[in-house]
Structure 1
Amino acid sequence: MRLSSMADYAVVTMSVAARHCGGARVSATELAEEAGLPLPTVQKLVSLLGRAGLLRSVRGAGGGLQLARPAAAITLADIVEAVEGPIALTACVQAGKHDCALEDNCTVRPHWGAVNEALRGALANVPLTQLAATPTAEPVRKVPA
């Protein structure tokens, strides 16, 4: 499984926004500059993330963008689903959204729901606070001679 570029960019954008949490509101232009992304891409993401209730736009003097809820209450699963829709490795688990030649005889289909829930659960265990944290250097591991 691989995230789409837009989902990846959404994670980067939300991480940048989280670093401003508690500070002044940030503009889409500032988010784009800090994330190293094109402004039109960030504007599209801001719209998607806003519709999902992850970002909030405040108008007027001192306006800008801010997280719609605390960074600790936003997960990687929330961000991915805001851009990609429900997390599903196969289309057969979504009602009316499958066209599979094996559908009538598939013995694996009943299990995909559990697999998808496990994947979503893993992504839901990664809070935005972790994604926004400045990485620390990991200790160098010595390779045995």
Structure 2
Amino acid sequence: MIRLTNLADYAVVVMAAAAREPAAKLSAARVAELTAIPAPTVAKLMGTLARGGLLLASRGVAGGFTLSRDPADISVAEVVEAVDGPIALTSCAGNDVNDCAMEGHCAIRGHWAPINQAVRGALAAVTLADLVRPAAAAAPMAAPAPALAD
């Protein structure tokens, strides 16, 4: 199974909460209340997302965090990358040095780039505006195939 880190998952939830109130200045405490994510985690994520250019932070009594852009202009890929770095399904597919024992003779390494691009493209195609719209009703499941008689 391929999974996002918990922090990346929470970051998407935090950003979706901010997208529901794009004009409001939200505190970490308020976002924690809206999302049920622990306040210290929300505060850490909001700082990371602000450093990543996705949130704007203002200090003071009337301070808080707001989205840096319209929710339709912020993709899930940007949120994930702000927290986890570049999207890569394997360590050898990124630009980082790795210690894979197979690196010198792996015939697959060069083929990960299009896979990573496809995954990133799928995440980039979904925006915060998409996430705050009501989810479409699930398609009805097909009836099970009849059992074959012996």
Taking structure 1 as the reference length, what is the TM-score of the superposition?
0.90
User: Which structure 1 residue ranges, 4+ long, deviate > 4 Å from structure 2?
Assistant: 139-142
- Structure 2: how far apart are the matches of 1:95 and 1:140? 42
1:102 to 2:92 alignment: no
- Deviation, structure 1 residue 141: 5.2
Query: In the alignment, what sits opposite 1:36?
Result: 36
Runs (5+) with no aligned partner, structure 1: none
Superposed CA deviations along residues 23-81 of structure 1, whole A, max 9, x for unmatched, are x3111111010011110000000011001100111223432110011111100100111
- Structure 1: how far apart are the matches of 2:94 and 2:16? 30
Pairing 1:1-145 to 2, within 5 Å after superposition: 1-22=2-23, 24-138=24-138, 140=140, 143=143
| Cα distance, 1:39–1:100 mapped onto 2, change above 3 Å | same
- Structure 1: how far apart are the matches of 2:96 and 2:47? 27
From the CA coordinates, give the structure whose radius of gyration is larger: 2
* CA RMSD, Structure 1 to Structure 2 (Å): 1.8
| Cα distance, 1:136–1:62 mapped onto 2, change above 3 Å | farther
- Structure 2: how far apart are the matches of 1:19 and 1:32? 14
Superposed CA deviations along residues 92-129 of structure 1, whole A, max 9, x for unmatched, are 12334211111111111111111111111111001111
Runs (5+) with no aligned partner, structure 2: none
| Cα distance, 1:97–1:14 mapped onto 2, change above 3 Å | same
Letter in 2 for 1:74: I
- Structure 2: how far apart are the matches of 1:9 and 1:94? 23
Number of corresponding residues: 144
- Structure 1: how far apart are the matches of 2:87 and 2:139? 34
Letter in 2 for 1:16: A
